[in-house]
Amino acid sequence: MALNYKQTKLVKDTIPALREHGERIASIFYRNMLRAHPELNNYFNSVNLKNGRQPRALTAVILGFAANINNLAEQVPKFERMCNKHCSLSIRLEHYEIVGEYLIRAYAEVLGPAMTPEVQVAWERAYSVLAKMLTGREAQLYKQFGSWSSWRKFRVDKVVPESADIYSFYLVPQDGEPLPSFLPGQYVSVQVPTPDGHLQARQYSLSEAWRPDYYRISVKRDEGPAYANAVSKSYLHPGAVSNLLIDRVAAGAAVDVSHPAGEFFLDTKETGARPLVLISAGIGVAPMVSIANAVTQSQPGRPISWIHGSRSEQVPFHDHVARLRAQHPASFRTAVFKSRVVEGVDVPGVTYDFASRVDLARLSPDEDRLFLEHGGTEYFVCGPEAFMRDVSLYLRAQGVAGAHIKIETFSTGDAALEQK
Ligand SMILES: Cc1cc2nc3c(=O)[nH]c(=O)nc-3n(C[C@H](O)[C@H](O)[C@H](O)COP(=O)(O)OP(=O)(O)OC[C@H]3O[C@@H](n4cnc5c(N)ncnc54)[C@H](O)[C@@H]3O)c2cc1C
Ligand code: HEM
């Protein structure tokens, strides 16, 4: 049910106090909710709960929504990323009821006497309007997923190293049924049991164009902060899922995989010939391989630029990209930035083009790898957050419209929300 004028005002009047106590609300909310519903630990990323990214993201969306409650239509595009993520994690209507209950209780605890019964009803309505919008969109996505709307068992067919710390996993469905198509750039969630007895899911971009027999993901080892002393180097908090996949999940193992999802993709139904510029750093390369493969297969003459920055000795997918360039010499352009060049091993023009981090200003306009003059060029950017910010700022300064720059962040919350 919609809010009346008075309720809208009550909600808006309490926003400053809720913003001020955002961190406290989030910690009360998650603590109480997870105590009463420990099964939800299997859904939430434990690291993003601890470092506050997830609570901050949820609070920012709810308060932002409430502050703009009179302009609901304008807010819908902002929800696309989270709805896709929710669906890739099997979040359901009943979970929204639990979240709503514990969130309003946390608001009440923090607001104290200011949370009058009237204010509480107003907030319950506001939450239910938002939950309805999200679950409505999620119902559409689940419908598109068809019968695969939760976890599906896959067998790891093979694991192939792409560099010293990136491994591709070829995943075959155990039921042997053909795999549904996805849009290049999208991801799957992979769920594994972790040593603490919980399940943990993480997202991995599909790194191959769609094919009916297997999906491929490429996982980078996340070592975490290093701790070095005189004799050895060790790691304080090695990433839970990436290390587990790389060290413990070999060919033949079973993993749970979600239906592909995500709002960062190339729309292959829009068959225009507008140039595409793929700009990545590190493991941000994964969705770019899927996009490049899909385009070179289905639209072989479409102009496409591949710009990648790597710190690894072995640039991931280097040979594959060199093959694509050789097969499509008129349309496929590349630029590889390597920040650690190894003397005697690296050869300029062969293993790399620029001995530095990605610096778009170094690309000569004569070779036109950014297609800045075209006006309709689509830019796909994926890598560390600071890198994506710098690339976006550079492109915007060159006159590229924000709507033509798509970014994919490999984390939760902040950066993903900022771009909207
Ligand atoms: C849409 C999307 C697509 C993605 N695609 C890919 C992909 O194609 N390939 C890929 O490799 N990754 C991808 N990711 C990232 C991936 O989902 C995981 O986040 C990544 O593998 C790290 O997960 P993990 O479980 O290993 O690390 P986590 O255990 O989640 O830890 C994350 C980081 O936090 C640090 N940390 C953990 N605990 C602490 C602590 N107590 N104190 C301080 N630091 C701590 C860890 O060292 C690590 O650096 C994607 C993410 C998204 C959202
Ligand atoms: C109105 C209600 C909700 C809001 C506003 C909300 C908001 C968000 C946002 C902003 C993100 C981060 C998206 C991203 O950056 O990728 C997110 C992710 C997530 N949400 Fe929700 N959410 C809501 C309901 C729920 C419910 C009901 C559940 C399940 C109990 C849930 C579980 C999750 C999980 C598990 C993630 C991924 C967390 C991670 O990767 O760290 N959310 N949500």
Ligand 2 pocket test: which of 99, 130, 186, 202 has the largest number of ligand atoms within 8 Å of its C-beta? Answer: 99
Instruction: Give the type of residue at 262.
Output: G
Ligand 1 binding pocket, CB closer than 6 Å? 45, 47, 50, 187, 202-205, 217-220, 222, 224, 237-243, 262, 283, 286, 408, 410
| Cα–Cα distance measured from residue 201 to residue 43, given in angstroms and rounded to the nearest whole number | 7
Instruction: Give the range of the structural domain holding residue 189, as residue numbers without chain letter.
Output: 152-257
Please tell me whether residues 130 and 158 are part of one structural domain. no
* Residue bearing tokens 């997830």: 54
What pLDDT, on the 0 to 100 scale, is given for residue 77? 84
Distance (Å) of CA 17 to CA 14, 114, 359: 6, 10, 43
Ligand nearest to the CA of 262: 1
- Boundary residue ending a domain (223, 257, 291): 257
Residue nearest to atom 7 of ligand 2 (CA): 58
Spacing, Cα 177 to ligand 1 middle (Å): 30
The answer on 299 and 165 residing in a single domain is no
Q: How far is the CA of 370 from the centre of ligand 1 (A)?
A: 30
Tell me if 268 is assigned to some domain. Answer: no
Same domain, 72 and 192: no
Ligand nearest to the CA of 65: 2
Give CA separation, 359 vs 239, 307, 312, in Å.
29, 10, 17
Q: Are residues 401 and 343 in the same domain?
A: yes
In this structure, the residues whose C-beta lies within 6 A of any atom of ligand 2 are 40, 43-45, 48, 54, 57-58, 61-62, 81-82, 85-86, 89, 91, 95-96, 99, 130-131, 134, 412-413, 416
Question: What is the CATH classification number for the domain harbouring 176?
Answer: 2.40.30.10
For the domain that residue 404 is a member of, what is the CATH number?
3.40.50.80
Same domain, 292 and 313: yes
Mean pLDDT by 10 residues, the chain (420 residues): 90 92 90 96 93 88 90 86 98 97 95 94 96 97 97 98 96 98 98 93 98 98 76 77 97 98 93 91 98 96 96 93 97 96 92 96 90 94 96 96 96 60
Cα(248)–Cα(229) distance, integer angstroms = 27
Active site residues per annotation: 96, 138
Task: Tell me, yes or no, whether 109 and 25 share the same domain.
Answer: yes
Q: How far is the CA of 86 from the centre of ligand 2 (A)?
A: 6
Closest approach atom of ligand 2 to CA 48: 41
Q: Looking at the domain assignment, is residue 194 inside a domain?
A: yes
What pLDDT score was predicted for residue 233? 65
Backbone dihedral angles phi then psi of residue 219, each to the nearest 5 degrees? -110, 130
* pLDDT at position 357: 96
The bound ligand whose nearest atom lies closest to the alpha carbon of 51 is 1
Ligand 1 pocket mutation, candidates 163, 242, 265, 380, criterion most atoms within 8 A of CB: 242
Asked whether 203 and 188 are in contact (CB, 8 A), the reply is: yes
pLDDT digit string, tens, across residues 119-166: 999 999 999 999 999 999 999 999 999 999 999 999 999 999 999 999
Q: 210 and 93, same structural domain? A: no
The pLDDT assigned to 34 comes to 96
| Residue 264: inside a domain | no
Q: Of the ligands numbered here, which is closest to the C-alpha atom of 45?
A: 2
Residue 27 lies in a domain: yes
Rounded CA separation 395/403 (Å): 12
Residue 134 lies in a domain: yes
Cα 413 to ligand 2 centre (Å): 9
Q: Which residues contact 255 (CB under 8 A, 6 or more apart)?
A: 153, 154, 156, 171, 190, 191, 192, 245, 249
Domain-terminating residue out of 89, 114, 145: 145
Q: Which atom of ligand 2 is least distant from the CA of 130?
A: 1
Q: What percent of the chain has pLDDT over 90?
A: 80
Query: Are both 310 and 411 inside the same structural domain?
Result: yes
Write out pLDDT tens, residues 65-86: 999 988 888 888 889 999 999 9
Whether 23 and 46 map to the same domain: the answer is: yes
Domain boundary, last residue among 98, 121, 145? 145
Best residue among 203, 215, 382 to mutate for probing ligand 1, ranked by most atoms within 8 Å of CB: 203
Q: Distance from the CA of 239 to the center of ligand 1, in angstroms?
A: 6
Total domains in the chain come to 3
Report the C-alpha gap between 378 and 186 in whole angstroms. 16
Do 135 and 9 lie in a common domain?
Answer: yes
Rounded distance from Cα 81 to ligand 1 centre (Å): 18
Strand-strand pairing, 332-338 and 304-310: parallel
Ligand 2 mutation pick, 59, 63, 86, max ligand atoms within 8 A of CB: 86
Residue nearest to atom 20 of ligand 2 (CA): 86
Q: Which atom of ligand 1 has the smallest separation from the CA of 411?
A: 53
Residue 130 lies inside a defined structural domain of this protein: yes
Report the atom number in ligand 1 closest to the C-alpha of 45. 30
Q: Do residues 314 and 229 share a domain?
A: no
Ligand sitting nearest the alpha carbon of 48: 2
Which CATH number is 95's domain given?
A: 1.10.490.10
Does 270 map to a domain? no
- Give the distance (Å) from ligand 2 centre to CA of residue 59: 10
319 shares a domain with 293 = yes
